[in-house]
Structure 1
Amino acid sequence: MKIRVGFGFDVHRLVEGRELWLGGIRIEHSCGLLGHSDADVLIHALCDALLGAANMRDIGFHFPDTAGEYKNIDSKILLRDTVKMIRDKGYQIGNADITVCAERPKLNPHIPAMKKCLAEVMEVDEEDISIKATTTEKLGFTGREEGISVYATVLLQK
């Protein structure tokens, strides 16, 4: 059995007038994330980790923000397509470990729904997805509530 590890990172700016989508679910908040798609920074970092582990470049290569078909797209579609691409290459998902950095909103109450949503899209057990939320203790752009960043690590098996 071949084992591969991938790491993904993404960040999006918080702005007024947009919905906040994280982990495939909509979360009530005064701001949303700015991006070409729905700007689900968690899913984008997860896609990069999956693609990296399979040595398939990154999310921007496969789903460029210059392509009209991805304008305002639901990031769950990008994740579903990413999982299909890595499975077509012979990989299966072992697990994903994800850390979201945000001062607000408080994310812990939403983690079970995010895990459920991601597990359904990826066709894996919820037990195979770990999501943690942290703050940056009011330091940096995250601490100033200018944006949200996400780190994701995945294990693939072939």
Structure 2
Amino acid sequence: MNIRVGQGYDVHKLAENEELWLGGIRIEHTHGLVGHSDADVLIHGICDAILGAANLRDIGYHFADTDPQFKGIDSKILLKEVMKLLRDNGYELSNVDNTIVAQRPKINPHIPAMKQCLSEVMNVDEDQISIKATTSEKMGFVGREEGMAVHSVALIYKSQK
């Protein structure tokens, strides 16, 4: 069996008067993430992990933050395209494991909704998507609530088509 692993990492700055999108869902919070797209740091980490596993470069290569067509885009659209690229190259997703690093808000109550949303977008079972959350114990940019980070790992395999 031809299996491959890829890792993704993404960060986005937090700011007032922005919406907070994580894992394809909107979370009520005093601050949101800033980016060229909707700044969904979780989806961006997943995209990079999958693209890396398939040796298809990274999210910035496919969806440049200098391209006006991606300004404000819903990251679920980008993830759907990444899954198409994966499958067009003869691979399927085995699983993706993610760690969201955020001081606030509490992420755990939102994980079931994120998993449901992502499984629909990616056309995979929810049990193929792991989402965990941690803080940075009030250290660094995450601890100062200046931003959020995500670490993602994807395992893919060559499909038998």
Whether TM exceeds 0.5 here: the answer is yes
Looking at structure 1, the residues matched to 128 and 45 of structure 2 have their Cα atoms a distance apart, in angstroms, of 16
Looking at structure 2, the residues matched to 107 and 65 of structure 1 have their Cα atoms a distance apart, in angstroms, of 27
Q: Tell me the amino acid that sits aligned with residue 15 of structure 1.
A: A
CA-CA distance at 1:69 after TM superposition: 0.6
Looking at structure 2, the residues matched to 83 and 91 of structure 1 have their Cα atoms a distance apart, in angstroms, of 9
Looking at structure 1, the residues matched to 24 and 152 of structure 2 have their Cα atoms a distance apart, in angstroms, of 15
CA-CA distance at 1:73 after TM superposition: 0.1
Q: Any idea what SS the aligned residue of 1:5 has?
A: strand
Q: Where do 4+ consecutive residues of structure 1 move more than 4 Å? A: none
Q: Any idea what SS the aligned residue of 1:93 has?
A: strand
CA-CA distance at 1:50 after TM superposition: 0.3
Q: Tell me the amino acid that sits aligned with residue 10 of structure 1.
A: D
Looking at structure 1, the residues matched to 81 and 56 of structure 2 have their Cα atoms a distance apart, in angstroms, of 13
TM-score, normalised via structure 2 length: 0.98
Q: Does 1:52 align with 2:39?
A: no
1:2-151 mapped onto 2 (5 Å cutoff): 2-151=2-151
Q: Any idea what SS the aligned residue of 2:138 has?
A: coil
Instruction: Say what the alpha-carbon RMSD is for the aligned residues.
Output: 0.3
Q: Deviations for 1:91-110, whole angstroms, at most 9, x for unmatched residues? A: 00000000000010000000
**Unaligned stretches of 5+ residues in structure 1:** none
CA-CA distance at 1:74 after TM superposition: 0.1
